[in-house]
Structure 1
Amino acid sequence: MTQPVVTAGRSRAAAGLVPLLVAGVATAAVCLWLLLHTGSGVTLGYLGGPIALVAAVYSCWKIGSSIRVSRPVRAFWRALSHSAGLLLIGSCISLALSNNNAGLSLVAAAPNVLGIIWVVVAVFRLPLGDSSALGWARTLLDCVTVAVAGTLIFWYVVLSFAPDATDLDTRAAAGTVGVLSLLVLVIIGKAAVVPNAPVDSLALRLIAVAPMIGVTTAVLLIAGSEGPRLVQSVLTGPLLALAFAAAAFRQKHVLAHPPADATRRHRSLWDMLPLIGVVATAGMVISVSAREMDGRERAVIVGAVLIVVCVVARQLLGLRENKRLLNGIRTQQVQLERLAMTDPLTGLANRTRFGAALAERLGAHRPVTVLLIDIDDFKTINDSMGPALGDQLLYQVAQRLRNSSAVRELPARLGGDEFAVLIDADEIAVAEDAAARIQQALAEPFRVGEERLLAHASIGVALAGPGDSADEVLRNADIAMYAAKEGGKAAWVRFEPRMRQEVVNHARLGSELHNAIIRNELFLMYQPVFDIVTGRLHGAEALVRWKHPVRGFVSPGDFIPVAERSGLIVPLGAWVMREALRQLSVWKAEHGAGAIKAINVNVAVRQLREPGFVDEVASVLAEFGLLPSNLVVEITESSVADGRQVRETLQALHEMGVRLALDDFGTGQSSLSLLRAFPVDVLKLDKSFVDGIADGEDRGRLAVAAAVAQLAEYLGLSAVAEGIESEAQLDRLRDMGYRLGQGFFMAKPLPADEAGMLMAADPVVAKY
């Protein structure tokens, strides 16, 4: 059922494993070369470094360019890709100088030194625990302590083993690499033990292999023999690349599969490095004093060192309890931050995180596209099946969005049944491909409980333009999404600037319509319904019209959609209902038995959702002294399928005695099934089936029109043919068995007084 989604997920997982495999194979090849090396020519052994480091650069860059991850994580992995790039340059220099037996020069070591510094920059972009000034001061003191101790150790211990022929450049380069590597170990150690750090702790530990290799390399370059130095020299590049690629693979895995216990704190001995540096320095002080001072002076030095050690130990004991308390606070803080940025039902990013990511990209003037996704008819599914199954459906939709999104796309749930995807591109082809991909992912049926459901979506696509804000891009996507719904749903539409003007015009028209209801600019026209057999007036359908003081007559096709979208259809519909029933009471008072028995009023689905609609109808009927049978409520097929609340409202109206007419019958996809669940009294054949039936050439329309007449007769319902415009149509419909009809051939919509004239004594008005 979800095979395309699973395949996409597996392909991305395989793609993420490729750089690690390349680095691993390159490292294994170098190890094999070392086993087979005969001592002549070492250029081949150095080839593994550049190859493996290219894979490392790529794997780090992929995470750093993904908008799915948080900003600190992206910044860290981007900086790490830069560091791997510098190490790649250093490896290439080593390859170029592979046949030169000279020691490591400062020029050759410069890219490696810069790469190590860039790792420091990358790690410093992560939270290192306490971010206050005091916390940064402690971190700086730890770094200074390790740097001083490392320098002393290299100067006093490591360099003492250097051969006399070792040049100053090699000594300086090795010492610089060694001390910087120790600093990186300290900083990574601090980042690795921060609870719920954005970068996975194991990934940081894998990266820590790199500075360990740096320290080992520095020591071997100074104090190692020729064999170990060669091994370390050719293996440094591949091992560094393997560490970076393994860390990137681990980070991708954690991002795709977050651990269940995300709040666990990882402990490490690396935060003990400053203390180890103090102890090592103290040992050297004691060692030096033992050789160069007398007994009393040595006692003072040893005592001072012991005091320092005791003070440090005391501080550790005092800080242990504070750390335990801080860890609890930090864990709660991270949990709150995660809740604030994640949708609890689906696990996707929520509106807050999505908006922040969108604003960040727009602020950096980077390309971005937004896809706004709304599940079609979700309210019907939710009402009919219950909110629990509705939530299951939303969860499954979210998983398909997650699995069908590319690495550089951020899926999110904005609320309800509304989702969004942020794309790191502003190309039309890329946006359209993403929209089509999502449509395909949602096309397969969903297994929800014991049911298999189809849940199509309407998608609005908006490419960010110069100067657009996050709100503007989302608003544009929303406009395009509603255009997709109005175009028939289950489709996607790309935003165009003209759509915004249309929305502005609709909003302006909506404001004027609101005023029109208050200022009595609206009026009703009445479309007569005739008995097409006798020619007598049978009823009338109330049609609302608007005469704008400036625009003149505004077409219902223009202002009715505005009323439905803005919610003004509720007060507008209430006004039409009241005015139509008032007019019917006037006709009954004026014409008595000659007046029509009932008035037809169109009711929108939004009105049927109102909790007090049935009571409102009953109140208006009672106010004008009318019976429920004097009202025919016309609704569309889509209204009936809207949900449980609408069906209950219609059932209540039917039980009260109000007659219900199914308008535009035959145009929906489930007309026949509606007749079983819907208490219908009247079927109104849609005008599209009346057009063209006079000549008899359109057999499809003839068949539908005849079938509706027979169905109505069989079920004991009234059948009304709409849109009769010629005598030939009238004759054909009469022959089919239709008794009632309306259309311009018999009468156009009339003002109340002209419609009343048709109700005079002996009202035979047929002209056919």
Structure 2
Amino acid sequence: MAGRGEGTVRPFRLTPDLSLVAVLTVGVFAWLAGALLGWWRAPLVAWIAVQVIALVTVWPAWRTARMPQLAEPARRFWRSLAFGVTLLAVGSVSGAFDALAGPDAPSQRVSPRTIVFYIGTVLSVFWALLRLPGARRSRSNRLQYILDTGAVMVTAAIFAWHFSFREYEQWRLAFGTVLALGVVIVLSCVAMLAFVKITAVGTELLDRTALRILGLATAASAATGALAPALSGLPYVHGTQLSVPTACLLLALAADRQRRAAGVAVPPSPPRRGWSVLPYAAVAATNALLLIEWTGSPPLYLVGGAVALTAIVVIRQIVAFAENSRLLARVDHSLRELREARDQLAQQATRDDLTQLANRRLLQQHLDDALARFAPETVHLALIDLDDFKTVNDRLGHHVGDDLLVAVAQRLTGVTGPPTLVGRLGGDEFALVIAPASSWQADAAVQLVAEALHRPVHAGGHELLVQASVGLTDAVDTREPRELLRRADVAMYAAKERGKHRLARYEPSLDHDAHEYARLGAQLRRAIDEGELYLVYQPIVELPAGRTVAAEALVRWQDPERGFVPPDVFIPVAERNGLIVPLGEWILREACRQATQWQPRDGHAVHRISVNVSARQLREPAFPATVAAILAETGLDAGRLVVEITETAVFDGGVALDSVRALHGLGVTVALDDFGTGHSSLGLLRTCPVDVLKVDKSFVDEVTTQSDQAVIATALIQIAGGLRLQAVAEGVETADQATRLHQLGYRYAQGYHFARPMPAADLTRLLQADTPDSVPA
């Protein structure tokens, strides 16, 4: 907005127009002083000076109105003042003619023509003030301003009437008309209005110092005009010669101040006090005048004025009390909102956003309180972790996962109550603080939770089965909430390692297991980086001759400190800490590289190389791209690579199943490992692109008997044949098993009966000893 900016007011400098107005004003006052002392009688000199002063003052006001730094309302204000001063100059010429042209000249007479110009001047000033935007105030504040203005104007009217206007006859004799009295009264009212407008209401468009100077100009003009009766016996001295120079000099000073302050930001209006000294000062002044003039029958205007002022002050107090009541009501409302906001913040600080259960902070506070109040053996903590929750997010979307978490939270709070606090630690992990309670009561509470979660849960339009691993501990030898959380966490992971969907209670031995688990994980990371891992290969043979046609790559670890570490020890560690992803990539690359050394020639070959792939690897979205890159890097044909997956890895679909389909699209062969021991869903053979079924050893062990396992082995080869799948019998350990499997229709087998896992060099020698016969379909 124009008129706003940064900087400081330029220093005062005496300009030519301001110098001329000041010199002429001092000259007029000096001439008037000499006339009052009787030194000379030449009123024309004073009248000429007054007219020159008025005409010269038009220029500062007009120059200010043309400043582009001012906003349009401010420029319009100064244009109105310039027009008013122009009318004042014309009125001064007319006033000089009235005083100096006539049979009784010089005189104090004022013609109606002159009064019209003076009234025009007053209206111009009033219109300029009326259109000047004031600072924003409340309705109550505006009413208080009106009452304060009324009090000031009533007091001013009383004093003006008492000291000047009641000399009605002197005004008529001096000016020859009562219109002059009316003009002075109107000018006095405008002066009071201007004073209140400028000093009380204010504005943010004009410099405040300039506005105060203008208020002083109107007040001074009205005050000097009211002295007219005192000059009625002095025809050589006219009231206009006092009021016009005074007003013009102050107006020129105000215009100069406004020009020097142009471009400087006007600070916001200061907040107004809830009380004002004006009405009380008005009452005090009027009462003082009343006491001074008390003669037993005080003037009616004094009594009426005192009553009016008292009424105004009373009304103002009522308005102030009402405003204070509204302010107190707003304060009360604000305090209520603050309390509600504080309670809401406290709720947000201690509650989980999604489930509205207690969060980690509130759980810890509750544990602190319970440990301080109750015996250690009565404070129990259970951690509940949903098994395979990531599959829900991957397969159905995170919104369904969120709905599932909310449903589980409601299920937990529905089956628990005092003294149990249910909370969510984050992700799919929940916690129960059970205190005070005995061990059997804690076990019963956890059992209720397990039974509640066993029932299907409706989430996001799906009916889902939820399984959870639970770790439970008590505070028998600790008072630290963090230690309780650690123990419950150790017990929960022990439950997962035991097969999931289980409850494990904390025991000190679990700490040793957890420590060993972490230590083994760190050593496995080092082993991957330093090349301590190696591959062995177990042949897959063709029945009945036993000729090697394929091989399965198996990883082994020879640790410098531990010695040989079995795969069933370190593979679960890799699954848990995520190392299975880089480990599996290394196995895949090494197996493919070795397979290229066994290219088919003269019938002696490993036609396919099998690599086990974990569920964690399949859930990596980039896994198919990794396989494709390794095939390209090693030069192995995709049809010679077999990825062995478990039924559990793809049973729930999602990203894992998408990865298998992408691998199959690359031309990679897919085998279901340990078939028949997982979920055993025959529907999986329709949804998952499978090429090979690897029948688990548990069905092969009893294949030579009339056991149930033998029946299943027979059924599986019939299913494989019907679906045009290859079947490989695993774990063949005797010649009778091999013979019986061949009789049932099995054409491929694997086991110690044929060969144990061996290094690549040994398998190469074995291949050289084989004779060519046939190759698998």
TM-score greater than 0.5 by the shorter chain? yes
Query: Residue in 1 aligned with 2:538?
Result: 527
Query: Residue in 2 aligned with 1:281?
Result: none
**d(CA) in 2 for partners of 1:669 and 1:723?**
21
**d(CA) in 1 for partners of 2:752 and 2:539?**
10
Alignment check: 8 A CA contact 1:607 1:613 kept? yes
Alignment check: 8 A CA contact 1:426 1:464 kept? no
Q: Is 1:361 aligned to residue 363 of structure 2?
A: no
**d(CA) in 2 for partners of 1:657 and 1:359?**
59
**d(CA) in 2 for partners of 1:483 and 1:603?**
24
Query: Residue in 1 aligned with 2:657?
Result: 647
Q: Secondary structure at the match of 1:371?
A: strand
Q: CA deviation at 1:389?
A: 3.1
**d(CA) in 2 for partners of 1:534 and 1:683?**
21
Q: Is 1:568 aligned to residue 568 of structure 2?
A: no
Query: Residue in 2 aligned with 1:464?
Result: 475
**d(CA) in 1 for partners of 2:756 and 2:327?**
93
Query: Residue in 2 aligned with 1:323?
Result: 332
Q: CA deviation at 1:316?
A: 6.8
Q: CA deviation at 1:457?
A: 2.2
Alignment check: 8 A CA contact 2:472 2:503 kept? yes
**d(CA) in 1 for partners of 2:603 and 2:771?**
11
Q: Which amino acid aligns with 1:548?
A: D
Q: Is 1:632 aligned to residue 642 of structure 2?
A: yes
Please, which of 682, 689, 714 is the counterpart of residue 679 of structure 1? 689
Q: Secondary structure at the match of 1:626?
A: coil
Q: Which amino acid aligns with 2:470?
A: I
Query: Residue in 2 aligned with 1:337?
Result: 346
Q: Is 1:755 aligned to residue 766 of structure 2?
A: no
Q: Which amino acid aligns with 1:721?
A: A
Q: CA deviation at 1:451?
A: 4.1
Q: Which amino acid aligns with 1:611?
A: P
Alignment check: 8 A CA contact 2:603 2:772 kept? no
Q: Secondary structure at the match of 2:683?
A: helix
Instruction: Summarize deviations over 1:570-607 as a string: whole Å, max 9, x none.
Output: 11111111111111112329x67522121100111111
Tell me: CA distance 1:326–1:741, structure 2 relative to 1, closer, same or farther (3 Å).
same
Q: Which amino acid aligns with 1:668?
A: G
Query: Residue in 2 aligned with 1:599?
Result: 609
Tell me: CA distance 1:594–1:348, structure 2 relative to 1, closer, same or farther (3 Å).
same
Q: Which amino acid aligns with 1:374?
A: D
Q: CA deviation at 1:743?
A: 0.5
Instruction: Summarize deviations over 1:171-210 as a string: whole Å, max 9, x none.
Output: xxxxxxxxxxxxxxxxxxxxxxxxxxxxxxxxxxxxxxxx
Structure 1: unaligned runs, 5 residues or longer: 1-309
Alignment check: 8 A CA contact 1:535 1:765 kept? no
Q: Secondary structure at the match of 1:671?
A: coil
Query: Residue in 2 aligned with 1:613?
Result: 623
**d(CA) in 1 for partners of 2:546 and 2:772?**
6
Q: CA deviation at 1:703?
A: 1.2
Tell me: CA distance 1:495–1:764, structure 2 relative to 1, closer, same or farther (3 Å).
farther
Q: Secondary structure at the match of 2:768?
A: coil
**d(CA) in 2 for partners of 1:602 and 1:506?**
23
Please, which of 519, 524, 542 is the counterpart of residue 508 of structure 1? 519
Instruction: Summarize deviations over 1:394-418 as a string: whole Å, max 9, x none.
Output: 2222112112112111011222222
Q: Secondary structure at the match of 2:702?
A: coil
Query: Residue in 2 aligned with 1:744?
Result: 752
Alignment check: 8 A CA contact 2:384 2:429 kept? yes
Alignment check: 8 A CA contact 2:381 2:434 kept? yes
Q: Which amino acid aligns with 2:481?
A: A
Instruction: Summarize deviations over 1:709-731 as a string: whole Å, max 9, x none.
Output: 11111111110000011111111
**d(CA) in 1 for partners of 2:661 and 2:690?**
10
Structure 1 stretch displaced more, 421-430 or 387-396: 387-396
Query: Residue in 2 aligned with 1:708?
Result: 716
Q: CA deviation at 1:468?
A: 4.6
Q: CA deviation at 1:441?
A: 1.9
Q: Percent identity?
A: 47
Larger radius of gyration: 2
**d(CA) in 1 for partners of 2:618 and 2:679?**
21
Query: Residue in 2 aligned with 1:693?
Result: 703
Q: Which amino acid aligns with 2:748?
A: L
Query: Residue in 2 aligned with 1:718?
Result: 726
Tell me: CA distance 1:566–1:450, structure 2 relative to 1, closer, same or farther (3 Å).
closer
Tell me: CA distance 1:406–1:494, structure 2 relative to 1, closer, same or farther (3 Å).
same
**d(CA) in 2 for partners of 1:615 and 1:384?**
20
Instruction: Summarize deviations over 1:460-516 as a string: whole Å, max 9, x none.
Output: 111123235222212221222222233333332211111111011010011111111
Q: Secondary structure at the match of 1:744?
A: coil
CA RMSD of aligned residues (A): 2.6
Alignment check: 8 A CA contact 1:458 1:484 kept? yes
Instruction: Summarize deviations over 1:122-158 as a string: whole Å, max 9, x none.
Output: xxxxxxxxxxxxxxxxxxxxxxxxxxxxxxxxxxxxx
Alignment check: 8 A CA contact 1:529 1:741 kept? yes
Query: Residue in 2 aligned with 1:438?
Result: 449
Q: Is 1:390 aligned to residue 398 of structure 2?
A: no
Q: CA deviation at 1:435?
A: 1.1
**d(CA) in 2 for partners of 1:449 and 1:561?**
33
Alignment check: 8 A CA contact 1:535 1:764 kept? no
**d(CA) in 2 for partners of 1:577 and 1:468?**
49
Instruction: Summarize deviations over 1:358-403 as a string: whole Å, max 9, x none.
Output: 2333355644211111223333334333333333332222112112
**d(CA) in 1 for partners of 2:741 and 2:662?**
33
Q: Secondary structure at the match of 2:727?
A: strand
Query: Residue in 1 aligned with 2:158?
Result: none
**d(CA) in 2 for partners of 1:609 and 1:444?**
27
Query: Residue in 2 aligned with 1:537?
Result: 548
Tell me: CA distance 1:421–1:543, structure 2 relative to 1, closer, same or farther (3 Å).
same
Tell me: CA distance 1:758–1:671, structure 2 relative to 1, closer, same or farther (3 Å).
farther
Alignment check: 8 A CA contact 1:383 1:643 kept? no
**d(CA) in 2 for partners of 1:492 and 1:734?**
44
Q: Is 1:729 aligned to residue 740 of structure 2?
A: no
Q: Secondary structure at the match of 1:510?
A: helix
Alignment check: 8 A CA contact 1:528 1:540 kept? yes
**d(CA) in 2 for partners of 1:673 and 1:598?**
27
Q: CA deviation at 1:348?
A: 1.6
Q: Which amino acid aligns with 1:601?
A: V
Q: Is 1:346 aligned to residue 347 of structure 2?
A: no
Q: CA deviation at 1:625?
A: 1.3
Structure 1 stretch displaced more, 439-448 or 357-366: 357-366
Instruction: Summarize deviations over 1:714-766 as a string: whole Å, max 9, x none.
Output: 11111000001111111111111111111011100011100111222644799
Q: Secondary structure at the match of 2:553?
A: strand
Q: CA deviation at 1:318?
A: 5.8
**d(CA) in 2 for partners of 1:444 and 1:611?**
31
**d(CA) in 1 for partners of 2:740 and 2:674?**
19
Q: Secondary structure at the match of 2:355?
A: coil
**d(CA) in 1 for partners of 2:589 and 2:437?**
52
Q: CA deviation at 1:525?
A: 0.6
Tell me: CA distance 1:357–1:504, structure 2 relative to 1, closer, same or farther (3 Å).
same
**d(CA) in 2 for partners of 1:744 and 1:670?**
26
Alignment check: 8 A CA contact 1:635 1:661 kept? yes
Query: Residue in 2 aligned with 1:493?
Result: 504
Alignment check: 8 A CA contact 1:547 1:553 kept? yes
Q: Which amino acid aligns with 1:360?
A: D
Structure 2: unaligned runs, 5 residues or longer: 1-318
Q: TM-score, normalised by structure 1?
A: 0.56
Query: Residue in 1 aligned with 2:558?
Result: 547
**d(CA) in 1 for partners of 2:531 and 2:493?**
31
